[in-house]
Structure 1
Amino acid sequence: MPNKGSHNFLIIEDNPGDFALIEEFLFEQIEAPVVAHASTFKQACAILFTNTPLFDIILLDLSLPDCTGISLIKEIVAIALNAPVIVLTGYADLNFGVRSLSLGVSDYLLKDELTSITLYRSIVYNLERKRTILELAESEKKYSQLFHLSPLPMFVFDWETLIFLDVNDAFIKNYGYAREEIIGLNLEKIKPCEATIMPETMPLNGAQYQENSSGILKHLKKNGDVIQVDIQSNFIQYKGKRAKITIATDITERLNYIQAIERQNEKLLEISWIQSHIVRAPLARIMGLVQVIKELKDDDKEKEMTLDFLLSSANELDEVIKKITDKTQ
């Protein structure tokens, strides 16, 4: 039973008998193929430059009146607009077939061995490969957009060599390197001398292996500033290499703010201890001395001594209050 669905085909074939056979094969396996025909290279160019919608598959004979062989392949592949080109030829030349595939041809079939099944299998395979390639290209495009447009610094490095493979715009802005300066350098370039080996660069194996890693590390900017970064990283395949993609969020200001709050809290705790222990001592003495003065009789000398003690305690309390005031500045 013919495969349901419709596909657009361009058959470039100057032999009427071969064209009729190929068209028949298509209708045997596909329910409603849309077929266009060109018998010369010139006609093929005119169709490809004006055709809408685009062709799904181009079936190409290599012996046309106005162009043949390698030259024909190069010309058709160049204007095929990503449509897979399947070569149909009567010449069983293995070396030529290999070379044609290296020039961008999707498949190479011999006319003497051609059947509706072999042609259909090649068409299905190449349509699926085209779909996969388009999906991969779209996926790479989305990755590129997410990577380069991210407001957070991101970089990709080779897991084995620790070499930078890619960095985004936010990384360039935050670290101060131009892309051409950092690509190809080792991760050691952004590690301060006093910093320990970054966890994300330490080889993991066996039970130690983790699919992702994170932590707060020190990084070195191009201008020499040391920053604290929150690292989130994961393994990826990047252009055929095992790599890691890493987000490095600069948290230097946040940590400085937290440290400032912690120092302020320490001061407040010290102030609280001063108020509860040191301030209360002279205050208790003053309260006791006031009571003593109330109970004294007319002994001026004893009153004078008591008042001296009272003044001394008041001065002591005044000094303590000054220290508390200084702490709160």
Structure 2
Amino acid sequence: MSKDSLPLTILIIEDNLGDFVLLEDYLLEKFDVIRIFQEESFDGAILKIKSANKIDIILLDLILPYLQGGALVEKIQEYSGDIPIIILTGYTDIDLAQKILSMGVSDFLIKDEINPEILYKSIIYSLERKSYINGLNKTKKTYQDLFNLSPQPMWLYDISSLAFLDVNQAAITKYGYTLEEFKNMTIRDIRPKEEMESLDDSLAQRVSKDAYGFAGVFVHRLKSGKHINVEIYSSNIEYNNKIVRLVLANDVTDKLEYIKQIEAQNVKLKDIAWTQSHVVRAPLSRILGIINLIELESFNSEDLPYLIGQLKLSGNEMDDIVRNIVSETKLLNLNGLNNG
């Protein structure tokens, strides 16, 4: 039978030499590259955990001199970190097993039922469980970093009660509430009364379509009473074994105000363009007509004073029009727009 080539260092905390030898035989039968340490007491086990470069698995007898049961497990866990612990005991007490397993140990084995295959499977399961938990912890940390360090306000809320479950620092800074205040509020509390209907419509739409991503632009109320316009992006995520909603809020108040200014100035620019194409055309047409008369061979010199007067009149009209265009253009504050 081929052995598992997985390199392992195993600490067996067992004060019964016969049980230790049996466990050692089982391990050597299943693993090809393995180091096994034995400690008979709690104090010796702690020294080994502290001094060993690496321990992959701890096999722990549930009864040691002067320490046993749940108290023993708690004490070992204070020093073992994330090393998987497999409990070994001669007692078939279901209540005890449930209690010990609830403390976070990897497995609970009855000594009389252990054989090489059972022990091997328990060790492999414990290592895979550790790897899975470490992966979850890394994912959780990545999420926490993205959530807490985001420059955009973010929060989690309960889909049923709409209560805030958690908010990041950016939300606290933007909205002015403390974390404790947020957790005593619902998402309705940051909405003006006139926005409640649109909020209900949006929530109903998100539920019916199970929608993700952009939810729309809404009005929110800060603690100071100021109203802001925000773009809302949201999606469902699992949080503490429950499906909740994650929200990102992007303040677009200045952006919308800027767009309004642009639109208003565009209207003004259209008015100016209309002036250029219509109002200017009248005096310009008179000037061109007078020039055409002067160029005619049949031009009567006695009409010259009148024509010059008309030229001057048309010139003054055009000057007034140009001045008016320049004045209106300055009011648009185009330089301010370009700098913004």
1:271 Cα deviation from its structure 2 partner: 0.6
Q: Are 1:218 and 2:219 counterparts?
A: yes
Cα pair 2:87 2:107 within 8 Å, conserved: yes
Distance 1:200 1:31 in 2: 61
User: Taking structure 1 as reference, are residues 123 and 174 closer, same or farther at Cα in structure 2, changes over 3 Å only?
Assistant: same
Matches within 5 A, 1:111-122: 111-122=111-122
State the SS of the aligned residue for 1:228.
Answer: strand
Amino acid at match of 2:43: K
The residue aligned with 1:8 is 9
Show CA shifts across 1:23-48 (max 9, x none).
11111112222111011122112212
The residue aligned with 1:168 is 168
1:263 Cα deviation from its structure 2 partner: 1.6
The residue aligned with 1:201 is 203
1:74 Cα deviation from its structure 2 partner: 2.0
1:288 Cα deviation from its structure 2 partner: 5.2
State the SS of the aligned residue for 1:123.
Answer: helix
Cα pair 2:61 2:88 within 8 Å, conserved: yes
State the SS of the aligned residue for 2:194.
Answer: coil
State the SS of the aligned residue for 2:19.
Answer: helix
Question: How does the TM-score come out when normalised to structure 1?
Answer: 0.86
Distance 2:261 2:152 in 1: 25
Distance 1:116 1:200 in 2: 59
Matches within 5 A, 1:97-246: 97-195=97-195, 196-197=198-199, 201-205=203-207, 208-246=209-247
Distance 2:152 2:256 in 1: 17
Distance 1:261 1:291 in 2: 43
The residue aligned with 1:79 is 79
Gaps of 5+ in 1: none
Cα pair 1:212 1:235 within 8 Å, conserved: no
Amino acid at match of 1:258: I
Distance 1:32 1:72 in 2: 29
Deviates more, 1:137-146 or 1:194-203: 194-203
Cα pair 1:42 1:66 within 8 Å, conserved: no
Distance 1:16 1:144 in 2: 47
Cα pair 2:153 2:250 within 8 Å, conserved: yes
Aligned length: 324
Cα pair 2:60 2:86 within 8 Å, conserved: yes
The percent identity for this pair of structures is: 39
Amino acid at match of 2:165: L
Cα pair 2:205 2:211 within 8 Å, conserved: no
1:312 Cα deviation from its structure 2 partner: 6.7
Amino acid at match of 2:125: Y
1:259 Cα deviation from its structure 2 partner: 2.2
Show CA shifts across 1:54-93 (max 9, x none).
x221111122223222322221222221212211111122
Distance 2:176 2:200 in 1: 20
Show CA shifts across 1:207-263 (max 9, x none).
x33243332222222222222222222221112221222222222222222222222
Amino acid at match of 2:83: A
1:151 Cα deviation from its structure 2 partner: 2.0
Distance 1:2 1:323 in 2: 95
Question: How does the TM-score come out when normalised to structure 2?
Answer: 0.84
- Say which structure is richer in helix: 2
User: Taking structure 1 as reference, are residues 198 and 308 closer, same or farther at Cα in structure 2, changes over 3 Å only?
Assistant: farther
